[in-house]
Amino acid sequence: MFGHLQHSALRIELRATSHQIRQALTEPAALRQWWFTGWPPEEQAPLTVGRSLALWWGVLPIQAQVRCLRPGLLQWQFSRGADGFQTWSWGEGWVQAQLEVVSLLPLGVGQTWQLWQLRRYLQKQTGN
């Protein structure tokens, strides 16, 4: 894979329960509403460990596999347009996303946008 090794770690506070955040991060109906425009519409089943998906991260095609999913933690392994990992951690009122990838495109801005989209989605869901 050609590109630059990139690392980004962002954490935001939001008015949502741990359960609401987990639902937004693991259920396809929720993911379709905030994961850029690249969440596959045909995907209906909740995420499980080992599951692979062909996603788009903005204009970047990504093969993504769920490497870890447990209370308060979701880790993706990416290949194709970006090689590396994205780890989501969350709890009551906060979420953190860490990105470690090699890619030609600058992905830190995309990760910031992704967190804003998640926050906006959760604000709609919780009425905050």
Tell me: the pLDDT tens digits for 72-120? 999 999 998 889 999 999 999 999 999 999 988 777 787 888 899 999 9
The pLDDT tens digits of the residues spanning 4-45 come to 888 999 999 999 999 999 999 999 888 888 876 667 677 778
Burial call 11-45: b when 16+ CB within 10 Å, e when fewer: eeebebeeebbbbbbbebebbeebbbebbeeebee
Q: Rounded distance, CA 92 to CA 82, Å?
A: 30
For the chain, give every domain's residue range. 4-126
Q: Which residues pair with 69 in a beta bridge?
A: 74
Pick the CATH number of 4-126 from 3.40.50.300, 3.40.50.10110, 2.60.120.10, 3.30.530.20: 3.30.530.20
Average pLDDT over the chain, rounded to an integer: 88
pLDDT of 97 reads 95
